[in-house]
C-alpha cells in the first residue's frame, strides 16, 4: 500500500491495512431498550490527563465472582446499534467482536478480559483513546488499558486499530463509553473514521455500537447501567 504517512511529533511512523470492522456484514437492530439516564457532558473525561499505558500483563480468563449485572443501554444519538451473528465454529479475528459466541471479546488475541471489558475497533490510521466515564463525566477509577492501539502513529505494534479497556471491580452506577481522536497520524483531514464498540460483562456481550468520529474531540458512544 502506497500512502503518505507523515510522522507525528513522537517520530513514530507507519502505514497499515484496515482490518474488517465490526460494521461489516452487520445489520441495524430493529429495537433497543432505552434506560432513563440523562445525557451528561464528558469533556472532562480525558482533558488534561496523561494517556494511560496498556497493562503489560493482561489476564486471559474472566473473574469468577461477578459483583454487578448490566441494566439497559443508551446509545448516543449518532450511534447505530448493530446485530452481530456470531458462530461457535468461527475463530476469533481480533476485530472487537465475539466471533465464536463464547461471551468474550477477542479472547486469545493477547489482551485480557475482566468483569467489564470494553473493546473499540476503528478503520483508519488515527490514534484513538478509549475512556469509561461515570455519570458526572469523570474517568472511572480502577479501569486500565490492556491494549493501546496507536494507529499509524505506531503501526508496528500489535493490533494498532484496537483499544481494550478492562475493569476488574465494577460498582453499580451509570457509565458512558467515550472515544477520543488523539492524533490523525498522517491520515487525511477528509478521512472519516468509523468507531465500533462492544462491551462484555460476565458472559454477555453488548453491541457492537458504531459511529463516525468528529474532528479531534470526545465522542460519546454508549451508556449503560450496572446494578
Radius of gyration of the chain (CA): 16
Rounded mean pLDDT, 64-73: 67
Tell me if 17 is assigned to some domain: no
Read off the DSSP letter of residue 92.
P
Structural domain boundaries enclosing 186: 27-47+62-226
Q: Give the count of domains, the chain.
A: 1
106, 97 Cβ separation under 8 angstroms: yes
Tell me if 141 is assigned to some domain: yes
199, 117 Cβ separation under 8 angstroms: yes
pLDDT of 193-210, one tens digit each?
Answer: 999 999 998 789 999 999
Nearest to 5 by CA among 127, 159, 179, 158: 127
Tell me if 111 is assigned to some domain: yes
Looking at the predicted structure, is the pLDDT value of residue 77 above 90?
yes
Q: Are strands 173-183 and 218-226 parallel, antiparallel or unpaired?
A: antiparallel
Tell me if 15 is assigned to some domain: no
Residues 22 and 184: their CA atoms lie apart, in Å, by: 21
Tell me if 13 is assigned to some domain: no
Claim: this prediction has a pTM higher than 0.75: no
Tell me if 100 is assigned to some domain: yes
Looking at the predicted structure, is the pLDDT value of residue 90 above 50?
yes
Q: What is the dihedral of CA 177, 56, 19, 47, to 10 degrees?
A: 40
Tell me if 94 is assigned to some domain: yes
Burial of 72 (0-12, 13-18, 19+ CB in 10 A): middle
Tell me if 113 is assigned to some domain: yes
pLDDT of 122-136, one tens digit each?
Answer: 999 999 999 999 999
Amino acid at each position: 500500500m502506497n500512502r503518505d504517512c507523515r510522522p507525528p511529533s513522537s517520530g513514530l511512523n507507519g502505514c497499515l491495512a484496515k482490518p474488517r470492522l465490526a460494521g461489516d456484514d452487520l445489520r441495524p437492530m430493529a429495537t433497543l431498550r432505552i434506560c432513563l439516564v440523562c445525557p451528561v457532558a464528558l469533556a472532562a473525561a480525558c482533558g488534561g490527563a496523561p494517556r494511560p499505558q496498556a497493562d503489560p500483563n493482561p489476564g486471559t480468563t474472566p473473574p469468577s465472582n461477578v459483583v454487578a449485572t448490566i441494566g439497559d443501554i443508551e446509545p448516543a444519538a449518532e450511534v447505530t446499534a448493530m446485530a452481530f451473528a456470531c458462530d461457535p465454529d468461527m475463530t476469533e479475528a481480533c476485530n472487537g467482536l465475539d466471533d465464536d459466541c463464547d461471551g468474550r471479546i477477542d479472547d486469545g488475541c493477547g489482551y485480557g478480559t475482566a468483569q467489564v471489558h470494553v473493546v473499540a475497533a476503528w478503520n483508519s490510521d488515527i490514534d484513538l483513546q478509549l475512556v469509561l466515564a461515570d455519570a458526572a463525566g469523570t474517568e472511572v477509577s480502577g479501569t486500565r488499558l490492556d491494549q493501546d492501539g496507536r494507529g499509524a502513529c505506531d503501526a508496528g505494534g500489535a493490533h494498532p486499530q484496537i483499544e481494550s479497556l478492562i475493569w476488574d471491580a465494577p460498582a453499580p452506577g451509570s457509565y458512558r463509553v467515550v472515544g477520543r481522536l488523539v492524533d490523525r497520524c498522517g491520515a487525511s483531514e477528509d478521512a472519516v473514521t468509523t468507531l465500533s464498540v462492544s462491551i462484555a460483562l460476565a458472559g454477555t456481550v453488548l453491541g457492537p455500537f458504531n459511529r463516525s468520529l468528529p474532528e479531534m474531540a470526545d465522542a460519546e458512544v454508549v451508556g449503560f447501567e450496572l446494578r
